[in-house]
Every structure is written in structure tokens, then in C-alpha cells.
């Protein structure tokens, strides 16, 4: 029986969720077949009935239902021990966990200040009002206000990226010579920004930019599987 992954779907079939992207890469890394089921924010009750909570991705493996991208990655590692490892060993798993939490709590909030005003247009038209209302409530301001001072936001983002830049200047991947789940976790946010905004957030001469290109090209160009940011006329029409 094939696995089933429930993941967020956006405008014209785009895949806007960074958490789904890290699992897409993990599945390809493991070489595991999976069926994908697209879910909108409006499908929240379906997700709740399935998993007891409201977030995707959700993996169904027979009678086992796993939610949260980290839990899914651990499940894949333990379920398919004969396939290429996502972590390597217990110590490497602990380090991958730290890097994942760093990406979620330090990198992603800074990226939001760079892409949120654009990102809303990558969502399905029926989901945009919910996204705007929920995120603006969290931010205490509009998406446009949150992204208004791009220069300051970019400076903060580049400072936070310092350790990442220095690491990737000396090795091809965070996992060393080959990618591991730590790469997929961090890359997922760069993919989120890349597909969720027309603005470039990386300098072309940076080590992170070169690493991102390597990540996009993995698994027969997995990072380019879906279209990127909607053309300006699409966003204008949606308004």
C-alpha cells in the first residue's frame, strides 16, 4: 500500500508550504512511493478528522497517521531503515533537530518580513482572506506593513544567515558531501521564499545561493516541479 501525504495546495496547483517541501525531499531521498492529496485551508475539518489537529502535512501509512514534518521524517527513517538515511545516526538526528528548530524559529520569522505581502497571492483565491486575517492578527499589522521596511528586514536576515553562509562556503551541503534532512529543513524556507515572492533574497555570489541551486537540482530538479510566483497580472486580477 502506498503512503499518502496530505499537503497544502495554492494558486493553480502551486505547493506553498515549506513543511511539505521538506517532506517531499525526504520521501525522494528515501525513494519511497507516495500519493499526494492537495488540501486548502478551507479543508481544515478534513484534516482534523484525519489527524486530530488542523495542520498539514499529514502522512498516512496504513493505519498510522503522522502529523508535523519532523515527526514524519522520523517515521520515514524508522519505517524504512534499509533506505538511504535521512540523519545518519542518533547524534546526527539530534543535530538535525537543532538545525530544524533554528530554521523554524530564527530564519522563517525574518523571511516573513520579506515575502508575506507577496506570498498571499500564491494561495488559492478562496484561502487568501483566511490567511490574511490570521497572519495579520498574529503580526498586529497588515501584511504590507510587516514588509514595508525591506532594507531593515534584509539586513536582519543576512545577519541571521551568517553561520549558514560560513558553513556552506566550506562544504557542499549541511550534511557534508551529500544532503541530509538538515538540508531539506533549511532549504524548505528558501523554496518557500523563492516560490512565494518575486524578490530575490540571496546574492548571486553567496555560498547559500550556490547551495540553493544544488538543492533545486536534486532528484531530477524537484525544486522546479511547480510554477513559481504568480505573474504580476495574476495578482492584480486577484485583487
Answer with the one of 28, 54, 79 that is the final residue of a domain.
79
Per-residue model confidence as pLDDT tens digits over 160-202: 999 999 999 999 999 999 999 999 999 999 999 999 999 999 9
Give a yes or no: residue 160 inside a domain.
yes
| pLDDT number for residue 231 | 59
| pLDDT number for residue 239 | 44
* Neighbouring residues of 3: CB distance < 8 A, sequence distance ≥ 6: 27, 32, 33, 34, 35, 59, 60, 61
| pLDDT number for residue 234 | 52
pLDDT confidence bin for 232, thresholds 50/70/90: low
Full strand arrangement of the beta sheet holding 34-39: 34-39, 3-8, 58-61, 64-67
191: domain CATH number? 1.20.1050.10
**Cα-based distances in Å from 106 to 27, 73, 112, 130, 158:** 25, 21, 11, 25, 12
Is residue 228 within 8 A of residue 121, CB to CB? The reply is no
Count of Cβ atoms closer than 10 Å to residue 43 Cβ: 18
- Domain that residue 114 falls in: 90-238
pLDDT of 138 > 60? The answer is yes
- In the chain, % of residues over pLDDT 90: 92
Domains in the chain, number:
2
Give a yes or no: residue 123 inside a domain.
yes
Task: Please name every residue paired with 60 in a beta bridge, in sequence order, or none if there are none.
Answer: 4, 65
- In the chain, % of residues over pLDDT 70: 96
The pTM for the full model equals 0.95
> In the predicted model, what is the mean pLDDT of residues 83-104?
96
Per-residue model confidence as pLDDT tens digits over 105-134: 999 999 999 999 999 999 999 999 999 999
User: Are residue 71 and residue 94 in the same domain, yes or no?
Assistant: no
Give a yes or no: residue 84 inside a domain.
no
| pLDDT number for residue 230 | 81
pLDDT confidence bin for 228, thresholds 50/70/90: confident
* Grid cell locating 72: 514524519
Amino acid at each position: 500500500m502506498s503512503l499518502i501525504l496530505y499537503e497544502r495546495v495554492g494558486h493553480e496547483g502551486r505547493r506553498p508550504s515549506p513543511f511539505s517541501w521538506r517532506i517531499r525531499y525526504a520521501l525522494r531521498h528515501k525513494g519511497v512511493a507516495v500519493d499526494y492529496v492537495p488540501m486548502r485551508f478551507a479543508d481544515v475539518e478534513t484534516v482534523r478528522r484525519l489527524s486530530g489537529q488542523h495542520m498539514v502535512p499529514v502522512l498516512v501509512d496504513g493505519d498510522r497517521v503522522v502529523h508535523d514534518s519532523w515527526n514524519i521524517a522520523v517515521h520515514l527513517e524508522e519505517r524504512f531503515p534499509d533506505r538511504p538515511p535521512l540523519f545518519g545516526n542518533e547524534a546526527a538526528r539530534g543535530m538535525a533537530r537543532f538545525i530544524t528548530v533554528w530554521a523554524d524559529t530564527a530564519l522563517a520569522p525574518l523571511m516573513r518580513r520579506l515575502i508575506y505581502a507577496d506570498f498571499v497571492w500564491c494561495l488559492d483565491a478562496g484561502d487568501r482572506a483566511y490567511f490574511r486575517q490570521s497572519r495579520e492578527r498574529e503580526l498586529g499589522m497588515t501584511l504590507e506593513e510587516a514588509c514595508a521596511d525591506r532594507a531593515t528586514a534584509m539586513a536582519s536576515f543576512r545577519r541571521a544567515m551568517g553561520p549558514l553562509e560560513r558553513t556552506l562556503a566550506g562544504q557542499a551541503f549541511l550534511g557534508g558531501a551529500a544532503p541530509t534532512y538538515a538540508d531539506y529543513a533549511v532549504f524548505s524556507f528558501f523554496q518557500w521564499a523563492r516560490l512565494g515572492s518575486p524578490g530575490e533574497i540571496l546574492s548571486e555570489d553567496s555560498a547559500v545561493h550556490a547551495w540553493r541551486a544544488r538543492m533545486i537540482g536534486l532528484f531530477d530538479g524537484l525544486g522546479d516541479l511547480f510554477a513559481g510566483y504568480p505573474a504580476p497580472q495574476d495578482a492584480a486580477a486577484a485583487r
